[in-house]
Every structure is written in structure tokens, then in C-alpha cells.
Structure 1
Amino acid sequence: MTINWKTLFADHIEQLNTRYACALAALGMDAVIIHSGVEKNRYLDNKVYPFWAHTHFRQWVSGHQNAHCLLVIRPGNKPVLGWYQPRDYWHAPAQIPDEYWVDFFDIEIIRTPDQLQNLVPEKSLKVAALAEDETLMNSWGISTVNPDKLMHAINWHRAYKTTYEQQLIREANEVAAKAHIAAEKVFRNGDTELQILLKYLQAADHRECELPFTATVVLNERAATLHCSGYQRVADKEPRSFLIDAGTTHRHYVADITRTYAAKPGIFADLVARMDKELLDIISTLKPGVHYTDLHIDMHRRIAGMLSDFGIVKGSPEEIFEKKYTHTFFPHGLGHFIGINCHDVADWQLDIKGTDAGKHPEHPFLRLQRVLEPGMTFTVEPGLYFIETLLEEQEGNGDFNWELIDQLRPYGGIRIEDNILITEHGNENLTRPAFAKFVCLLK
């Protein structure tokens, strides 16, 4: 199927214009400017940190990271984009791409950062700014910077992805799936964590700084650390397990996928297969009107069933759940919004006014606490780990099968993560079809 990107982007921009117009009207403002940000040097060094443009700027400007740019949004007018393109022979200035999205902006070339001030609407208008550097905005005469009411409204609507955004996340999942499959193949060959990461980057056609988050690529017991980096350069003598939590970006939009593999058949491989089944089963229940918190609690019940069925903890699934033993093995939240950010905004936000759900009293690491609605995209990522610090809290507990747990500690743990879109009548798994498309790479 041929995708008409220009048509999708036109609808995307129309929706953004409507959202911003309503938010500005509620605030009594006439316009908003969004500054893309500035590059930053390391302390006492001339090396620049990888640049990521302001998150709201990236929602409008498709797929390009350019510092010292300015977007001017004034309801009823075509958005103005100040594009920084200095006359420079030290660095190659960013060119305006010949792409579908540029037609939706009045683009003005900016040669020096100071010239951006010339694009700010006249002083007779009430102008707000969205920018990381509040001091810079104040120096331009703008006192209303990142106002809560405007931020809450914009972030609230970002939870509902436009058709354009949904397609970009699909595309990101395809890139990530291809890279995950390539990474598994390298693991099966017995390579190091660093070599696996390098193969992932090559297959994704990404630089490491282009990943949406630092990838977790871990073997064996290191999988018990939820976010583990460092990438061992020496191969383990006995590869037992492999966990990779890694994403990709496509025109700013994110895929966030996790897979766990066993090196050989056995109880750990059986646990991985069972976790995959539980993940797919809970995804089958996703539809509009379901509260994500209920899904998280349901997953604890499912993991209680796993602990009971495999004999890791003694007792029935209900007994294990009621005694909260699942918290020892599944300490994080079930998932989070994805979009422009890996952990996208508004998953704790309960209304357009910014009411914060706060931390759940029994599940403090659960981020997403919203009722699911069409257009929402998020992850579902259950886990079951053998984490030393959490197991120590249960030391001496006779309900725990310590002999079996000791056998499983060297495997670290399991996490499997898919990306989901809520549709009008159910959901679309954005990850599984992408894997199916590229699985031939393993053959």
C-alpha cells in the first residue's frame, strides 16, 4: 500500500493548529513561539553533546534536528519556521530538505541566532514561549514561558496520536524489529554485548545517539538489572540468556521493544514462552474504556500464576497475589505512553487541566494511569526477574523455593515488550507484524 505522506501530514498540521488555537484562546494569548534549543558543550571541553530539539518543536517539524530554530504559531496564519543556516566552513549547515512537510510552513533562513528575535510577533500581541532556556526568552521580552495551562493542554492532546503519528510509530517498529532480529542472530553466534549492540545499530541504520534511549543489551545474570548498560567486551563462557530492550526513531517518533531469549531449552526457556503467552493474552483484552491500572494489576495476577505453576513460590496464584510476592519478581510498571518521547507525556495526567494521578499507593513505579482511548499508543512490558536486592528482602521465607530460585538467578530475568495502538473497537499490535515481516533474516 502506497502511503500519501503529504496528505497525512496535512491532516496532522490541521489538528495541531486546532489544538494550539484552543489552548491559546483559553490562556488569552495570541501566539506561541517554540524554540528548538541550542547545542551544549561538555564541561571544559569543545565536544558537543548530541542535540535533540525541543519535544514540542519536533511534533511540528518532521524528522530534523536543527539548533537555533524558531517556530511561530499564530492562529489563522500559516506557521512560520525560522531555519538556522549559518554561513560556516567549520560545520555543514542544515539544508532545508526537499520533502513533503516544508510546504506547510513559511520558512525564513536565519544566519545568526540573534536574528530569531525578528520573527517574534509584534509587542502589541500576547505571546507565550515554549523553550528550554527561559532566560533567553525573557531577554527577547517574553515573560510567559512554558505556562502550565498551555503545557497541560498540549501534553493532554499529545496522548491522542494523529494518523500521521500512528504511521510513523508503525515505521519505527519495523526498523526496530529488523534490528532486534539481527541482534538475536548475533547472540546465537556467541558474541559479546558490545558486538550485539553494534549489529543492532547497523541493522537499524542508527548512530547510538539517534536511539530514543540507552539500549539495554545484557547476557545472563546482568538481565536482573532493569536498565543495564556498559556492554561487556568479553563473551561469557556459558551464554544462558539474552535480554535486549532497545528502540529506534523514525522522523522523531519512537519504537520501544524488549525481547528475552534462552540459549538452550529448559525451565528458563519455558518461562520465556509462558511470559510471551501472558503478554499476548493481556493485549487481547485491550480496548477503549479499559483502565491501564487494572491491566497492571491483572498482570500481577498472571505472574502469580507463573510463580505457582513453575513452583518458584509455593501456594495458589491467589495466595501468591494476596501476599504481594509478585512485587519481588515484577517490580516495575506494565508500560508507558510512547510517541515523540520514549516515555511520552501525560500518562499521569488525568485531564486537560493537568490533574496529576500521583504515584499509585501499591504500585509506585506504574507510569500510565489513564483510561484507554482510540489513538493512544503505549507499551505493554511485563517482567519476571531474579533481583538480588529484592530477593534478600524475602530471605528465610519458606514460601519461596530457594533451590529453584538459585538455579534461575544466573539467567537474570525476563522482559517482553510490544507497542500497542488503541483503535475504535480494540487494538493494533504494532510490533508483532513488524517481526513477522523480517523474521526471514534469521534463516
Structure 2
Amino acid sequence: MNADARHATLAQLYPDHLRTLTARADAALDDSGFDRLLIASGRLRYAFHDDNPLPFKVNPSFKAWLPLSDLTDSWLVYEPGRRPKVIYCQPADYWHLPPSPPQGYWTAHVDVVVVRTPEEAARHLPAAERSAIIGEPEWALGDHVPNNPALVIGRLAYARAAKTAYELEAMRMASRRAVRGHRAAEQAFREGRSERAIHEAYLHATGHSDLDLPYGNIVALNEHAAVLHYQHQRHDLPDAHRSFLIDAGAQAIGYASDITRTHGNGDATFQALVDGVERVQQALCDRVRPGVDYRDIHLAAHLGLAEVLRDLGVVRMDAGRMVETGVSATFFPHGIGHLLGLQVHDVAGFAAGPDGGSIDRPAGHPFLRLTRVLEADFVVTIEPGLYFIPMLLDGLRARPEAAGVDWTLVEHLSRFGGVRIEDNVRAVAGAGPENLSRDAFAEA
């Protein structure tokens, strides 16, 4: 399917998506006592004591309704029983390129008012009284001050975990885009290029700039793969290209993908580690089904990864004992994943229900980002990993369990940093999971 056909599909799916959003808003407004929903797109912020703007990120609640990720000083207005209205700010500006005139499939389903200034936008907003106003406090316009009612935001965020058909198609597009970058990045690694050059190959293949990415790419050679959120991209070349971990996503009409792959360069022991994590990861992906407690997937990840450590001889200990004593957490110190959608770490991951409350993480697992029971059309990441992190290994050396560790093997594998493999997976009612990432790789 080419780009035109994919956007035609989005155009067909958008009306149902909008009906779903209005139904969710109707219920949230009715239960909270508000008459209408006003959502600010956001406003440029500037660096301290400077006239250079910081990178703009649109309000996720705004882009849930509209495929507009770069539009500042604009508003979505929804009142039950009426068509949504977009107050679209298109400044008369010759210093910067203003937004294009409103165009695309979405314009047939909303009322659009074009304004030239934020102050003009204020004149087209309905009364602030009895309005649920969503946004940052500094986005206020006159008496339209964001009040962010907890019940309204909680209801909408909780429902957002289940994706509409329109959103799922956008996320498939984001996956395909990211896969183009991953393939180019792997090729650049095989050619012996630097982290920065690999990153540039990714950008070129996806058509993104650094500012377009849904999050900063993790492009890690060798020992850098042991830094979970490695934030640098070095220009210099390492002494050898032993391993390469890339955690990089893409976006399509405001929806994100989030994919990680790890590549070796001929070392049999490290490749066995990669293959072991791959086997565990695929088994975990198969667990992504409606009715499954995501916490159980996380705990199963620890057990599966402990078995990999045991089978490779890294730790001579029963897998269950590794989990009980926290040894597995030395090598797998993060959560198994998170919700994905308009945001990379999408909202309401701990919500007990639409009206509030939270679901605790399992004891001893402080970094898990999702504790809910999965429902149909949730999209989550599944990203197990095994790492050789010096500060965590130092802690393990001081414990009695250190006697069961093959420290010579650990020293060898530490030169490769670690392994993480991540896919984006949809829970499907009445069928097996849909793996958006693997499908995109297969299509490529």
C-alpha cells in the first residue's frame, strides 16, 4: 500500500474515530458537571534570557482529535450535540513559515475558524464558566485559564489506552517508518560508522529530523548499550564495532512507534545472548491478550531472562531463585514496557479505573510503567533486556549470590554492553496479538 492509499484509509477511518472521541467526551462532561471541552494546542516556549524557542510539542489531548502536530496557539472546542470546532491560528508572519491553510480529510468533519493571533482566538472561545479547559497554565487566554478537571482528564486518559481503528492505522504507519530507519542504521553499523553517522542514516531513511522524532534516539555501540537511556551520539569511532543497540521510533500524524534491536558482529557468545533474549521476547509478545495482567508479563520476563542467564552459564543458580533474590534485576533493571500511542509512554498506565485510583507495581519492581489488565486494542511495548551495568554488577559482587556468577564470562560480555529487543504489540479480542513491529519488518 502506497502513501496515498494509506492516507485514504485514514480518511475513511477518521469519522468513526471522531465519534468515539465525542462519545468519550460526552460521558466525561456529563459525569463531571461541565458543559464543554476546550483543549489548547500549546504555545512556544523560549529559552531563559533568550529569543530562541525551545522545541515545540503539541498537547497530546489536542492531537488526539486532529492530525496536527505543529500547530501552536490553537484550540479544539467541543460541546455535546455540536460539531467540534477548531480555532486555527495561522499568523501573518514573514519571519517564519506560518502553518498551511487548513486542509485534509479532517476538515470535512469539524468547523474551522482561522485566526491570525492568539488574542483573536480568545474572541472565538465560548464562555470559560463551566468549561473543562485542558492545557498548561501558561497557555491561558484572558479568563480561559486551564483548570484540567481531574475527573475529565482521568476519564479521557483511561479510555485512550484502547486504540480506535484510525489510531491503529496511524501506528502501523509509524512502525513502517521506523523500520526503514532501523534497516538503514543496521547497515551503517555493518559499515563501521560512528554513532552519530548511524543516527544520521536513521534520520535520512525515515525522513525525520531530530525534532520530529517521538523521543531521542538511543544509538549505542559496545559498552554504551549498558546505559539504558544512553543520550549521546559520538562522532569518533570505537576501537571495534562489537555490538550495536538502537532504540528508535518514528511518528505518523502524531502517533508513535518505539522499536529496539540489538546486533552483534560475530562473537558467538554475545550472539547466543541476543538469541536467548529474542526467544524470551517473542514468548512474551504472545502473552499480549485481553484479560492478561501486564504485571504478570513483567514477572514472566524476569523468569525467562533468568533462564537465559542460567543456560549460558552467566549465573549458576535456579531461575526462580534468581528472581526471588533480585539477581535477575541486576541484569534486567527496568520494566517490561508501557502503553504506546499519542505519547511514547502513554498516559493512565497505573489507573485502576476511569474514576481514579491506581494499581501498584509488584513489590521490588519500581520501574514498571504499566500495571493494568490488558483490554482489546491496547498497544504496549514488550522490551526485555539483559545488561552488564558496572554499578549494578559491583553491588552483586558484594552479595553472597556472587559465588554463583561466572565473572570471567561477565567480563567478556561487558564489552558488548547489553541486549534489548522491543516490539509494539496490540491485544486483539478473540485472536492472537498483532505485532506491529514484526509486521513492518516483514513487509519491508
Give the TM interval when normalised to the shorter protein.
over 0.9
Indicate the residue corresponding to 1:375 in structure 2: 377
Q: Deviations over 1:25-51 (max 9, x none)?
A: 111111111111111111222221121
CA distance in 2 between partners of 1:136 and 1:236 (Å): 46
1:136 to partner: Cα distance: 4.8
1:143 to partner: Cα distance: 5.8
Indicate the residue corresponding to 1:52 in structure 2: 57
Given candidates 271, 276, 279, the residue that maps to 2:278 is: 276
Given candidates 67, 78, 83, the residue that maps to 2:88 is: 83
Do the aligned partners of 2:172 and 2:436 also contact (CA within 8 Å) in 1?
A: yes
1:268 to partner: Cα distance: 0.3
CA distance in 1 between partners of 2:266 and 2:33 (Å): 63
CA distance in 1 between partners of 2:146 and 2:209 (Å): 37
Q: Deviations over 1:144-176 (max 9, x none)?
A: 610111110010010011100011001100000
Given candidates 297, 300, 304, the residue that maps to 2:299 is: 297
SS at match of 1:48: coil
Indicate the residue corresponding to 1:391 in structure 2: 393
Given candidates 416, 425, 431, the residue that maps to 1:411 is: 416
Given candidates 118, 134, 144, the residue that maps to 1:130 is: 134
SS at match of 1:161: coil
CA distance in 2 between partners of 1:77 and 1:427 (Å): 37
Distance verdict in 2 for CA 1:69–1:324, change over 3 Å: same
SS at match of 1:209: coil
Residue 124 of structure 2 aligns with an amino acid whose one-letter code is: L
1:196 to partner: Cα distance: 0.1
CA distance in 2 between partners of 1:155 and 1:23 (Å): 11
Indicate the residue corresponding to 2:162 in structure 1: 160
Matches within 5 A, 1:313-328: 313-328=315-330
Indicate the residue corresponding to 1:72 in structure 2: 77
Between the two proteins, the alignment pairs up a number of residues equal to 435
Please say if 1:27 is aligned against 2:29. Answer: no
CA distance in 1 between partners of 2:196 and 2:103 (Å): 37
Percentage of matched positions with identical amino acids: 36
Indicate the residue corresponding to 2:433 in structure 1: 427
CA distance in 2 between partners of 1:86 and 1:362 (Å): 52
Indicate the residue corresponding to 1:441 in structure 2: none
CA distance in 2 between partners of 1:10 and 1:363 (Å): 41
Q: Deviations over 1:208-241 (max 9, x none)?
A: 1111111100100011000012111111121110
Do the aligned partners of 1:127 and 1:144 also contact (CA within 8 Å) in 2?
A: no
Indicate the residue corresponding to 1:171 in structure 2: 173
If the length of structure 1 is used for normalisation, what is the TM-score?
0.95
SS at match of 2:183: helix
Q: Deviations over 1:106-131 (max 9, x none)?
A: 111111111111122146x6212001
Distance verdict in 2 for CA 1:63–1:263, change over 3 Å: farther
Q: Which moved more, 1:215-224 or 1:141-150?
A: 141-150
Q: Which moved more, 1:286-295 or 1:248-257?
A: 286-295
Please say if 1:8 is aligned against 2:10. Answer: no
CA distance in 2 between partners of 1:306 and 1:43 (Å): 49
1:359 to partner: Cα distance: 4.2
RMSD: 1.4
CA distance in 1 between partners of 2:262 and 2:298 (Å): 20
Indicate the residue corresponding to 1:258 in structure 2: 260
CA distance in 2 between partners of 1:436 and 1:47 (Å): 43
SS at match of 1:92: coil
CA distance in 1 between partners of 2:309 and 2:380 (Å): 26
1:384 to partner: Cα distance: 0.2
SS at match of 2:260: strand
Do the aligned partners of 1:128 and 1:143 also contact (CA within 8 Å) in 2?
A: no
